[in-house]
């Protein structure tokens, strides 16, 4: 007799892994001073969050945000635009992708 539970569990495994990784990442963002994302520290991410959060984003971004963004790995940040973590954090991907230009930085090609 074949065990169908393996098929059921196997289909949910990628989603479970994604959820666990999201929880770990969120815990690091909200509790860790040592957290970085693409060379941006938690302080840098927090400085930029008002400019990438709907419904009333701050425009132009703060000097602290632009300073943090100037040391960030912009191609790495660009690769995050489809990440479900952005939605989880309340970050609008379109606003986030517009930040480099607003900070007078050259955005990565094809971003």
Question: What are 78-97's pLDDT values in tens digits?
Answer: 888 888 878 877 889 999 99
From 57, 97, 52, select the one nearest 77 (Cα to Cα).
97
Indicate whether 107 belongs to any domain. no
Q: Are 100 and 106 in contact (CB under 8 A)?
A: yes
Q: pTM here?
A: 0.67
Indicate whether 108 belongs to any domain. no
By residue range, what is the domain housing residue 92?
A: 5-102
Per-position DSSP letters for 45-66, written without gaps between them: HHHHGGGS-SSS--SSPPHHHH
Number of separate helices (H) and strands (E) present in the chain: 6, 2
Indicate whether 63 belongs to any domain. yes
Indicate whether 110 belongs to any domain. no
Indicate whether 93 belongs to any domain. yes
Residue environment code for 55-84, b if the CB has 16+ CB neighbours within 10 A, otherwise e: eebeeebeeebbebbeebebeebbeeeeee
Indicate whether 68 belongs to any domain. yes
**10-residue mean pLDDT series, the chain (111 residues):** 48 58 54 65 92 95 96 91 82 92 91 83
Q: Are 77 and 40 in contact (CB under 8 A)?
A: yes
Domain count, the chain: 1
Indicate whether 111 belongs to any domain. no
Indicate whether 97 belongs to any domain. yes
Quote the pLDDT of residue 10.
54
């Amino acid at each position: 007799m074949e065990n169908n539970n393996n098929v059921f569990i196997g289909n949910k495994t990628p989603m479970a892994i994604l959820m666990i990784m999201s929880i770990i990442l969120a815990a690091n963002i909200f509790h860790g001073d040592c957290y970085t994302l693409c060379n941006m520290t938690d302080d840098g991410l927090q400085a930029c969050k008002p400019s990438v959060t709907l419904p009333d984003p701050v425009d132009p971004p703060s000097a602290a945000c632009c300073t943090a963004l100037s040391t960030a790995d912009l191609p790495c940040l660009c690769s995050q635009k489809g990440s479900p973590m952005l939605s989880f954090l309340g970050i609008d991907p379109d606003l986030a992708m517009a930040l480099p230009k607003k900070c007078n930085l050259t955005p990565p090609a094809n971003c």
